[in-house]
Every structure is written in C-alpha cells, then in structure tokens.
C-alpha cells in the first residue's frame, strides 16, 4: 500500500482476486467472526461499491464517491453483541455516470481495544468469490452499470486473493453517514397471471445492442436472459384477495405508498425452488403494468432459489413505489416485500414543516426527495443515473443549506470537481457530471456557467470563503475557454457541443446567439469578478447586459435568440418564451425594479401564471426544468410571496400527493424523485418569511 495511505489502516492492505482487478462485474464476499463481546471499529475502503452487514442486517453502503485518483474510507462502530461482519463488494470496471472508473480492490480492518483483530492481507477475514452473483448481465442503464442476477443454487467459493495497488489516495469520509430504514410494502388486492407474447413490448435497449461507447457483454455471452423474457411477458390482473403464495405463471404487485430510494428486501419461502423476475417502477398504468419506458432503464432483478427460506437484498440502491414478482419457475410464499431506504441522515435536518397543511405536504415531499439524493454527492435522481449533475447542484446547494444549516455535501461535491472535473479533451471546460465518466464526447457549456455561479454563491452566501483560492485557477481557465466564442458584439455565439437552456422548445433556439445563454454568461463574469477582484470581468458583464437590453428587449419582452441572415447580419427571430424573461430577471440583465422593465414585470405577475391557457399562445410556456424554478425565484426576488406560494402549490402539490416526492418534469413520465426539486421547501420558507415581515 502506498506510503500516503498508511496512516489510515494500521495493518490492512488492499486485496482482490488474484490477477482479476481489471475484470468486469466481479463480486467478492468477506466474512469476519472475531467480534462478539468487544466493541469494535471497522475501517473499510474499496471499489467500485460495497455493502456492510452486521449479523445479516444491512448497515452501510459505500464508499463516498471521489474524484479520479482518490478513494474514501468509512469507519463504522461495531456493537459488542455482533458476532459476524460480512462485506459484499462488486468491482465493476465499467465507465459510468455514477462514479469514476477504478480498478477493483477492498481494504478493511477491525480494531478493538487498540488491537487489530482482522485485516485484509493479514488474516481474520475469510475471503470468497461470490459466484451466486451472475457476472454477465445486461446494463441497467447507459448511465449506470449492470442489472443484478443472483443464482443462489451456487455456493460461494474459495479463491486466491492477492495484494493490489489501486493507485489512489485514501482519505476519511467527509460527509455524513446515511440512514438505512426499512419500509414494508402492501400488496395490491389483485391476482395476476402472465404469458409470453411473440413480440417484445419495447425494442431491446440500445445499450444491449453492442454499443461502441459502453462497456457491456454481448448478447451471445449473457448468462442471464431475464430481460429478454421480460420484454415478451404480458401480465393480466383482476381484482381478487391477495395471496402470498404464487406459483409458476403467477405474479403479484406491492405498493410502498410513495417513492422510496434504497435496497429491495424480500423474505421468501419456496418448497421446491423457484426462479423469479422482480421488477419495479415509480409509477403504474391502468392495467397494472409497471411503467419504465421513458426511464431507459432495465428495472428488474433475477433470483434463482433452491428450496428453503430466503432473506434477499439487492446490492445496488434503486428507487421505486411499485414492485412486481413474476414467478417463472417453481413456487414462492412472500413473507415480506419492501425496501430499506438509503437516505441522508434525518438527524441532520434542522427545519420543520409549515403550519399550512398543503405546504406541509410539499415540504415533507421535499425532505424525502432531498434525503434520497444527497448521500455523498449531489445526485440528479436515485434511480436511472445517481449522477452528480451541474445546474441540479445549483439548487440542491440552496436546499442543503436550508435543511441543515451547513454545506458539507456541497463542499465535498465541489472539491471533487476541482480535483478531477476538468475535461482533458476540452481544456478549460468542466464535465457536465462528476464524479463519473462521460463515455461520449459530450458536455454542456451552460452547465459550466452555472457551476461558476454556484461557486460564487457557495463562497459568498454559504460559508465557503476559505475555499475561494482553490477554485481560482479553474475559474480563470473557464473564463478563458469562452473567449474564443465571442462575436463582434462581445456576445457568445454558437458554443460547442450540447447547448442546454431548458427542457422545452426553447432548447431548439440556442443558435446563433442565445440570449438566455448570454445572460448567464454575464452573471458568471459578474460573480467571479466580484469574488476574485477582477474589474475587467465585471466590466465585461455590464457591457454584455447592456448589449442584450439594446439588441434583444422590445420594451416588453426579451427575444429568445438572434440568427445570422443571408448577409451575415445578426437579427432577432420572433420567438418569445416565458423562461427567457425569467433568465433576464433572475440573473440581473433586467433590473428587478427598473422603470424600463415595468411592462415585463407586469407580464410575469399578471399573464405568466399557472392559470394561463390561451392568452399569448405565441409565447412558449416554461417547463419545470428549469423555467419554473427561475420563475419562483423571480417572484421571491420581487417580494411577491403570495404569488410564489400559489405557483409552488400549483406545481408541487400534485407531485407530493402522487408519489411523496418531487419530479423532474411536469408530466411525471421520467424521474419522480429529482434532487434539485427539494429546493421547493427552501422557497416555501423564504415566501413565508417575506409574508411575516410584511405583516
């Protein structure tokens, strides 16, 4: 083990299956039985991910995700009554959005009364290859690694382990440890059967068809064909009393009551053995089909069981409200179906729900959404990606500060970006997600600007002033990156790669000159200029804002974009949207109280309401992501708390009542548990404080 890691582990060294640390999707199991009667301290690190069990109960999932070249170590207290510690570790060796590519290793030691009772590479841990884990399965999603298939008819086997050098710097975990809490699901009062149809319900997902840009197993080498079966399965349900006993050809559905993020747990008995396909989703249709089409995920786990009693858990955390067991072979009796929620510790939530009953529903949904998505980094969702996206983090940072009074996870999130977030392929630009590996040559230039604005807020509003120096070089390089896209007016024109301003038709209006993008660019320059004392950046910001007002504002509204005509002259189109107006007001291009923007403010207050249907059909309405959030902030910045609360209720209350969480899109067809949406609670609090101050 490298010298710089020796201070954490006293005797343990990193190990893995000999000569297999680069192999894809391998699972190992470590067992230690030297604990009972002594309070212990378990230190553990590894890659890609691991679960920790005390006497068969799941107590932890780790490690906290870090930048390339770094790895976090967990330290868990072991009660004196525990007789067995077991570790389940999967080394993926697979680039994905939810963590950086790292060769496989595990390092662990158990200490009690100053004595090392067990240490990897020394002794005390029995180490096995877990061959109950099926290695060659399909990808779960383009953004995450592999689906789970477990064949419990296999026995874990002895294997040769050897010391390895993972090539990382180890450091102690710097974010809170998550809560793991069990939730039992209730069966729907329906009875189901299934049959195989000739045609697939959906096409085979693109990441199973030999994609060039993902690590995967080809179709002809797969050891599990559950997904191919599931695509042809048609379930038929009718109203009937639920029974826990299901035989081959039968199926049943359970409901958690709201969306939960964590690990599935099933307690099953089978007399003759069974093979089941377990599927899950955040929503269900009228025919009781679990809806996953828009997710682009493969929401299923396969278990093959010999006769006996089984207490089963998924290895990876997922998100679901509904769960379905399809019995392919044999029989089962379901004693328990549920999830063990994996969430930011409730003890760190320092706020409470408002007195208003409807606002309290939204607040509680925001808390649940926040806790599911703030584990070790800021995540977009706890399902399809579990990825650390910029812009999402801009609002999640505000939510963390509101809920906890601190910014511990944001500090860790931003630290990862400083250490490894810059794109090697595009010097000066940062990745759109991190820590993670974007396997396509893709980035979002606007997300880099939001990253800079978030850093400014973190430094000036959330106690991060001591971290100011570490961002300086990266921010200078980022500002320099954009210089080459300036046109004759000092505006950014035709930025490279995937330009993004909103999930609406506004995103079809990003070329040649996007006015929202340039408003954001001006805000970035102003913020960085103020933080780092760069008067030249502040001057550029003021000049850009003046140019935007001169060229894009018609006295009432800002245009969405300008394009080059046949003579090369830059001219506005007749396209207008709500969201562009919110960009202008939120980012400061339009002074919130300036007389020249009085007509604009009137449109925002009197026309762009949730009740708006036919008026101004030519003006594009906002989507949740991101216009609605900017709109709420604009109303709060204009000190219109009643209007802000009306908007918040109109958008978020149906979500809270449907899933107990807050969503990415108004439609709800994609993620119903999206991290940045937790900001709704902070917005409610700000609006209520404004009302109180006024009264």
Residues 598 and 677 in one domain: yes
Q: Is the pLDDT of residue 68 over 50?
A: yes
CA angle 467, 470, 471 (to 5 degrees): 95
Residue found under tokens 């290695």 = 135
Say yes or no: 614 and 656 in one domain: yes
| Residue 36: band (very low, low, confident or very high) from pLDDT cuts 50, 70, 90 | confident
Q: Which of 301, 323, 343 is the last residue of a domain?
A: 343
d(CA 133, CA 88): 10
Predicted confidence (pLDDT) at residue 6 exceeds the cutoff of 90: no
Is the model's pLDDT at 318 over the cut of 60?
yes
Q: Decide if pLDDT at 4 tops 50.
A: no
- Do 17 and 135 lie in one domain? The reply is yes
Cα torsion 231, 236, 242, 245: sign:
negative
Q: What is the mean pLDDT of the chain?
A: 95
Which residues have CB under 8 Å from 38's CB, separation 6+? 80, 112, 113, 117
557 plus 446 within the same structural domain: yes
End-to-end Cα separation, the chain, in angstroms? 64
| Pair 270, 145 in one domain | no
> In this predicted structure, what is the pLDDT of residue 207?
61
Same domain, 160 and 302: no
Residues 139 and 218 in one domain: no
Total domains in the fold of the chain: 3
Confidence of residue 194 (pLDDT cuts 50, 70, 90): very high
| Residue for token pair 């408003």 | 519
Tell me the DSSP string of 187-225. Answer: E-SEEEEEEE-SS-SSPPPGGGS--TTS----GGG-S--
Are 258 and 149 within one domain?
no
| C-alpha dihedral sign at 362, 364, 367, 371 | negative
CATH number for position 75? 2.60.120.260
Residue 5 has pLDDT above 60, yes or no: no
Rounded to 5 degrees, φ, ψ at 509 are -120, 45
How far apart are alpha carbons 124 and 161 in whole angstroms? 14
pLDDT score at 210: 58
Lowest mean pLDDT among 60-64, 440-444, 516-520: 440-444
pLDDT at 317 over 70: yes
**Structural domain boundaries, residue 24:** 3-174
* pTM of the shown model: 0.96
Q: What is the CATH number of the domain that holds 287?
A: 2.60.120
* Low-confidence winner among 241-250, 269-278, 607-616 (lowest mean pLDDT): 607-616
What is the Cα–Cα distance from 583 to 63, expressed in whole angstroms? 38
d(CA 520, CA 507): 15
Question: Maximum CA pair distance of the chain?
Answer: 84
User: pLDDT-based confidence at 1, cuts 50/70/90?
Assistant: very low
Q: Do 467 and 554 have their domain in common?
A: yes
Last residue in a domain, options 174, 196, 226: 174
For residues 450 and 480, state if they share a domain. Answer: yes
% of the chain surpassing 90 pLDDT: 89
The domain boundary residue, chosen from 343, 376, 392: 343
DSSP annotation string for 494-562 = S-SS---S-SSGGGG--SSEEHHHHHHHHHHHHHHHHHHT-HHHHHHHHHHHHHHHHHHB-SS-B-SEE
Relative orientation angle of helices 641-659 and 629-637, to the nearest 10 degrees: 150
Phi first, then psi, for residue 475 (nearest 5°) are -70, -35
Q: Identify the CATH number of the domain in which residue 668 sits.
A: 1.50.10.10
Q: Do 136 and 188 lie in a common domain? A: no
Distance CA 377, CA 62 (A): 12
The span from the CA of 455 to the CA of 122, in Å, is 44
Pair (520, 663) in one structural domain: yes
Query: Is the dihedral angle over the CA atoms 566, 571, 574, 576 positive or is it negative?
Result: positive
């Amino acid at each position: 083990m490298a010298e710089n890691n020796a201070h954490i582990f006293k005797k343990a060294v990193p190990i893995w299956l000999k000569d297999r640390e680069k192999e894809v999707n391998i699972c190992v199991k470590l067992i230690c039985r030297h604990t009972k009667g002594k309070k212990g301290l378990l230190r553990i690190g590894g890659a890609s991910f691991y679960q920790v069990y005390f006497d068969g109960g799941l107590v932890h999932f780790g490690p906290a995700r870090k930048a390339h070249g770094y790895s976090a170590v967990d330290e868990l207290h072991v009660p004196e009554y525990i007789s067995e510690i077991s570790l389940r570790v999967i080394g993926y060796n697979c680039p994905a959005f939810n963590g950086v590519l790292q060769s496989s290793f595990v390092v662990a030691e158990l200490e009690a009364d100053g004595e090392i009772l067990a240490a990897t590479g020394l002794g005390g841990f029995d180490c096995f290859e877990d061959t109950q884990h099926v290695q060659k399965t399909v990808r779960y999603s383009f953004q995450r690694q592999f689906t789970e298939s477990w064949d419990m008819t296999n026995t874990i086997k002895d294997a040769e382990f050897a010391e390895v050098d993972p090539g990382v710097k180890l450091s102690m975990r710097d974010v809170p440890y998550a809560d793991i809490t069990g939730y039992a699901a209730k069966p729907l009062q329906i009875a189901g059967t299934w049959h195989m149809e000739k045609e697939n319900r959906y096409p085979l997902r693109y990441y199973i068809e030999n994609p060039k840009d993902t690590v995967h197993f080809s179709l002809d080498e797969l050891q599990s064909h559950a997904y191919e079966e599931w695509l042809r399965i048609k379930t038929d349900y009718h109203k009937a009393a639920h029974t826990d006993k299901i035989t081959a050809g039968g199926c049943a559905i359970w409901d958690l009551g709201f969306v939960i993020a964590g690990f599935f747990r099933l307690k099953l008995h089978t007399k003759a053995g069974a093979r089941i396909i377990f599927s899950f989703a955040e929503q269900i249709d009228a025919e009781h089909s679990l809806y996953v089409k828009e997710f682009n995920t493969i929401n299923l786990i396969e278990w093959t069981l010999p006769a006996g009693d089984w207490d089963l858990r998924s290895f990876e955390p997922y998100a679901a409200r509904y769960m379905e067991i399809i019995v392919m072979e044999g029989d089962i009796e379901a004693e328990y179906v549920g999830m063990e929620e994996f969430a930011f510790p409730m003890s760190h939530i320092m706020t409470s729900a408002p007195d208003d009953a409807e606002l309290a529903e939204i607040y509680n949904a925001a808390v649940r959404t926040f806790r599911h998505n703030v584990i070790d980094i800021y995540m977009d969702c706890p399902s399809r990606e579990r990825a650390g996206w910029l812009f999402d983090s801009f609002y999640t940072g505000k939510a963390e500060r509101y809920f906890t009074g601190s910014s511990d996870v944001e500090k860790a999130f931003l630290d990862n970006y400083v250490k490894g977030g810059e794109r090697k392929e595009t010097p000066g630009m940062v990745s759109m997600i991190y820590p993670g590996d974007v396997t396509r040559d893709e980035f979002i230039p606007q997300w880099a600007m939001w990253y800079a604005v978030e850093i400014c807020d973190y430094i000036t509003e959330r106690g991060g002033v001591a971290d100011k120096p570490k961002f300086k070089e990266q921010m200078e390089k980022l500002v320099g990156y954009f210089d080459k896209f300036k046109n004759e007016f000092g505006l950014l024109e035709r930025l490279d790669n995937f330009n993004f301003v909103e999930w609406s038709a506004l995103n079809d209006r990003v070329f040649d000159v996007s006015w929202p993008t340039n408003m954001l660019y001006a805000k970035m320059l102003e913020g960085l200029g103020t933080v780092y004392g760069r008067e030249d950046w502040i001057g550029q910001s003021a000049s850009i804002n003046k140019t935007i007002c001169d060229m894009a504002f018609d006295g009432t509204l800002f245009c969405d974009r300008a394009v080059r005509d046949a003579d090369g002259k830059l001219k506005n189109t007749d396209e207008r949207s709500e969201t562009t107006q919110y960009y202008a007001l939120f980012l400061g291009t339009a002074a919130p109280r300036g007389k020249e923007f009085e007509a604009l403010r009137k449109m925002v207050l009197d026309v762009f309401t949730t009740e708006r249907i036919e008026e101004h059909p030519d003006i594009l309405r906002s989507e949740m992501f991101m216009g609605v959030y900017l709109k709420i902030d604009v109303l709060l910045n204009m000190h219109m708390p009643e209007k802000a609360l009306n908007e918040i209720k109109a958008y978020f209350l149906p979500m809270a009542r449907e899933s107990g969480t807050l969503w990415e899109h108004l439609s709800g067809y994609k993620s119903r548990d999206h991290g940045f949406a937790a900001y709704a609670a902070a917005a409610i609090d700000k609006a209520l404080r404004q009302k109180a101050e006024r009264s």
